[in-house]
Structure 1
């Protein structure tokens, strides 16, 4: 089982295509989330195409790396990446959120190979990932567990209970990635120092210092810079079996990244693009008329 390898140019092209698939799939379904799937897209592509030790043709291999999407409401972003990586035919995206689909609004590990944890209740994913990492140690397995969290959901208390436990047990085989897109679905009006149209969930707080206080190694990156993402993921991979501490990657991102009318606005946490908006997004993302979910 080896890493797939994609260049920065290939990842950028994949990201444009994947963002279009997210927007058009949600529009076709008539429901779904937009802002989070678009902000996390570059992170997911780097993981699945360059760093996770996985085999889409054998998704249940015991020695595979594990991935937990703690912010389960952004599942359409993960489904899109899984489809592009070869876990299932991208045509199946057209069934998203349908009653009999494997692609529900939140990931269900019983239905879709490639999903390692059923998620959706915010704040629980890090606990699941810590359990997987501890289980790997107890069973003397070498797989790495990764978990993607939202900056809003890390307001949940159980996140910090899990952060303490990961450090207490020295779990250097677990890496958390925080998608710091700076916006929640609901929140306080923006202040002068906020990036977007609502207050950052952690405005004025040094999240890196908090994780360091819990005994984690911290890496700060631009979550849309492919070179920075690659270096951070490589560093986290190298920590497994040697660092004696868990790692967190704090990725500064833009909610709704890649499409002008969705970027930096809390109103596109979820939403359905109109035909005119879809046409504009297709042009911005450079996607031909033949690409996308049938409408």
Structure 2
């Protein structure tokens, strides 16, 4: 592990700055790429696009207790796009929920770290996900539970376009607009690429902001880059500024972020990282990490 990142992770409980979060996300991409190459399986594209979103939540925003994963007042995160599990596993391990060494067991028989996260096996996972579409519904249930039980925790749901292609998502979006639970936030990892094509080829969502607004949501009017931690922290300021619920933030991201030949390519949704691709890609990822550590 690099000295800069090692120092940062020596105290994971503190609140990290934008520059520190950027370095962590760059490091986590290296870990993910290493692991997915070693295992010969998994989803690089969507895991790479959401790295800054999850890093910023777990190392700056969310109130959690790694020694008490089921703490009733913890903030919740549902990674609705569960195929990006390696991103979530990498974050949870480095945040302290389970040993980092366990990442090497990804998708092995009898491993806790299967292709899609399981809340019954993995500390820190708030919901088993993978069947695209049910994340918003479950998140709504958690947010309504907070309202009924007079709890103040936040519920965040990260979705991709695949989730928003499902009818159940829009049923939940309508229901959330009716019941208006507080501290319920939809975070769209809007990389515009899916399993076998672009969003426009599969099912166009434009204008997504207008769609969500017409369904009764408080949609952030600003365009944020979900691969820039400064923008993500700015979006948190918007989340906190009024009491109009539910809220949605659309983050423009890049599928396969960090490697020139995987960025924006549907072919890298779940492709095996072969030795040649690894040798080329890891150089770019480590260079990005080096650049981000240099400004710490």
1:237–1:93 distance in 2 versus 1, CA, 3 Å? farther
Q: Deviations over 1:30-72 (max 9, x none)?
A: 2110100000111010111000111112211111001111111
Q: Deviations over 1:148-177 (max 9, x none)?
A: 001122011111110111110112321011
- TM-score, scaled relative to structure 1: 0.88
Q: Distance in 2 between matches of 1:157 and 1:3?
A: 38
Shift, 1:4, TM fit: 3.2
SS of structure 1 residue aligned to 2:193: coil
CA RMSD, 1 decimal: 1.9
Q: Is the 8 A contact 1:185 1:269 kept in 2?
A: yes
Gaps of 5+ in 2: 1-11, 290-296
Shift, 1:234, TM fit: 3.4
Q: Is the 8 A contact 2:147 2:182 kept in 1?
A: no
2:204 is equivalent to residue 202 of structure 1: yes
SS of structure 2 residue aligned to 1:122: coil
Query: Given the alignment, which residue of 177, 182, 188 partners 2:187?
Result: 177
Q: Distance in 2 between matches of 1:154 and 1:233?
A: 22
Shift, 1:237, TM fit: 4.2
Aligned residue for 1:291? Answer: none
Greater helix fraction, Structure 1 or Structure 2: 2
Shift, 1:3, TM fit: 6.8
Query: Given the alignment, which residue of 123, 127, 146 partners 1:113?
Result: 123
2:243 is equivalent to residue 233 of structure 1: no
2:164 is equivalent to residue 154 of structure 1: yes
SS of structure 1 residue aligned to 2:256: coil
Shift >4 Å, 4+ stretches: none
SS of structure 1 residue aligned to 2:78: strand
Counting matched residue pairs gives 275
Aligned residue for 1:16? Answer: 26
Q: Deviations over 1:67-87 (max 9, x none)?
A: 111111111111011112111
Q: Distance in 2 between matches of 1:28 and 1:99?
A: 15
1:152–1:114 distance in 2 versus 1, CA, 3 Å? same
